[in-house]
Amino acid sequence: MLIGSSLKMYFGRARTLEWTRAVAAICAEHPAVQGGLVEPFVIPTFPSIPEVVPIATHAGMLVGAQDLHWEDAGAFTGEVSAPELAEHGVALAEIGHAERRAMFGETDETVARKVAAALRHGIAPVLCIGEPDRGAPDAAAAACIRQLDASLALARGAGATGRLVVAYEPVWAIGAPEPAGDDHIRAVGAALRAHLADDPLDAQVIYGGSAGPGLLPRIADSVDGMFLGRFAHDPAAFGRILDEALALQETR
């Protein structure tokens, strides 16, 4: 099970390190992590990555980046390449988040190029997909599968292998007071899992979109983890979700 958080641009350097140290201390002692049930992760801002990596990895946490460029090198001012991220020990790269699509003009084509670049360098894409408007689960699943296939087109065409994390985040649920409904998440999560069942990529499906404590036990049969946002800004909340994951294992 994969459980972690993107810190977006909420924290500066000092608070990022404070948060990472606190969560790492929880993970270093938590039986869900130390027993291999949960892989925790954190995705900080680019400047914090070099300092976050040794803190997080010592506790068994993966570290991600919030974006990357599709080229390996060149005159791309302000961008960061997959090879450089790999040099820093980055294991994951968040790609195609709804905010980047809406604010920075990302398209299925640019997302596909970034996914292919990440996989070329052994970085697992955290590929964000989600329907824009609230609707029926079957329509949402169909929209997400179209988006997923478009985002993987180049990687599949190149015969890419490796790990893929599909982050299902309904756009209408991002930043909302509550996540999508349990039945909605479970239906879309199950559809995405079924669609990826025979994919050569080692795929997991996690849920994001106002995800926090209390949700995992209700959706765990249809997803492989959770992508946490602001509800995990308190490290204790992260710990409670690890407790929930452990309790799920103990009741099975």
Residues designated catalytic: 97, 169
Residue type, 44: P
CB atoms within 10 A of CB 178: 10
Q: Which of 198, 242, 213, 207 is nearest to 227 (CA)?
A: 207
Answer for the pair 129, 169: CB distance below 8 angstroms, yes or no: yes
Question: Three-state SS string across the chain, please?
Answer: CEEEEECCCCCCHHHHHHHHHHHHHHHHHCHHHHCCCCEEEEECCHHHHHHHHHHHHHCCCEEEECCCECCCCCCCCCCCEHHHHHHCCCCEEEECCHHHHHHHCCCHHHHHHHHHHHHHCCCEEEEEECCCCCCCHHHHHHHHHHHHHHHHHHHHHCCCCCEEEEEECCHHHCCCCCCCCHHHHHHHHHHHHHHHCCCCCEEEEEEECCCCCCCHHHHCCCCCEEEECHHHCCHHHHHHHHHHHHHHHHHC
